[in-house]
Copies of this chain bind each other. A is one copy, B any other.
Amino acid sequence: MRYGALEAGGTKMVLAVADENRKILARESIPTRTPGETMPRMIAFFRKHPVDALGIGSFGPLDLHPGSPSFGCITETPKLPWRHYPLLPAFREALGIPCALDTDVNAAALCEARLGAARGAQNCVYVTVGTGIGAGVVCEGKLVHGLMHPEWGHMLLCPRGDDPMPQGICPYHGACLEGLASGPAMEKRWGAPAKELPPDHPAWELEAHYLAQMCVTAVMTVSPEKIVLGGGVMGQKQLFPLIRRETMRLLGGYIACLENADGLIVPPACYPDSGLIGALLLAERAAK
């Protein structure tokens, strides 16, 4: 058996083919342009490297309700050429094999829960903090979809009094998680890209505070065994101890079984391939 994986992002499409041991046999990265340009190149890849099933982890929002007329389509994305594009049906039709679709972050959460930093956990959250903020959620061993799918980037936070940009930058909510703590929010607030800010810049302590607010919400709402934090901004390793300490401070001793957050808040083990490997796991499921 050969399994195909697609991690569909706003900037690039990452494609891979793997064997039953998840050994990658072929891999390609294609810039994301319009469906008219990009779809034929992706389909050509899987024609050149035939697979028995395909798993897709994609940017969203997606319609993931099996009974819906637009099941498997991208919905209201700001990436206009892809709005309402029938991603899953298009691959099914072109390749004639079982295909499965989930959000990129749910794919990454699946990977980290099965094989990575949250291995063995029945409950975990994978959060990516980068240009946007999103999360995949595993509850009692299952990927959560629900009414739409989780949209952690848009949970409302409480701006801190000393934040020079407490209004945030989200066009929908202003001061939501993404509006206050994404890479672009950091750049707007401090006047320089996050990766150019030195490790002792006050930006990181404030960033850790906002991500700790999110971690507290995670603990209170879904009680995860692991909160896996990935994405470009989390490449700044100094954030982890700051977020852990601030999360414990905000929890205020309420969660008695948590002595510290060292084992709770962790980096991904499969980064930057969590989403791609998760898509492979989706393909394995689809083949069954």
Contact = CB atoms under 8 A, between A and B. Distances in A.
Interface of A: 61, 75-76, 122-123, 137, 139-159, 172-173, 213, 216-225, 250-258, 264
Given A154-B254, A172-B252, A256-B76, A147 B219 contact: yes
Contact of A148 (B122, B148, B223): B223
A176 to B, nearest CB: 8
The 5 closest A-B pairs by CB, nearest first: A146-B223, A158-B158, A139-B139, A123-B146, A172-B252
Contacts of A148: 223, 255, 257
Number of copies: 2
Given A147-B257, A155-B216, 9 more contacts: A123-B144, A139-B139, A139-B142, A140-B142, A147-B255, A147-B258, A151-B220, A153-B220, A172-B252
B75 A253 contact: no
Given A145-B123, A216-B155, A61 B222 contact: no
Contact of A146 (B139, B157, B251): B139
A151 B255 contact: yes
A89 B9 CA distance: 51
Nearest to A177: B220
Given A173-B254, A217-B155, A223 B140 contact: no
A261 B153 CA distance: 21
Contacts of A253: 172
Nearest to A152: B220
A122 B147 CA distance: 9
Contacts of A156: 158, 213, 216-217, 250
B256 A221 contact: no
A250 to B, nearest CB: 7
Nearest to A138: B139
Contact of A150 (B144, B149, B222): B222
30 contacts: A75-B257, A76-B256, A123-B147, A137-B221, A137-B222, A140-B140, A140-B142, A140-B143, A144-B222, A146-B225, A147-B219, A147-B225, A147-B255, A147-B257, A148-B223, A148-B255, A150-B222, A150-B223, A151-B223, A151-B255, A152-B220, A155-B221, A156-B158, A156-B213, A158-B159, A172-B251, A172-B252, A173-B252, A173-B254, A221-B221
Given A155-B216, A256-B61, A224 B76 contact: no
Contacts of A157: 158
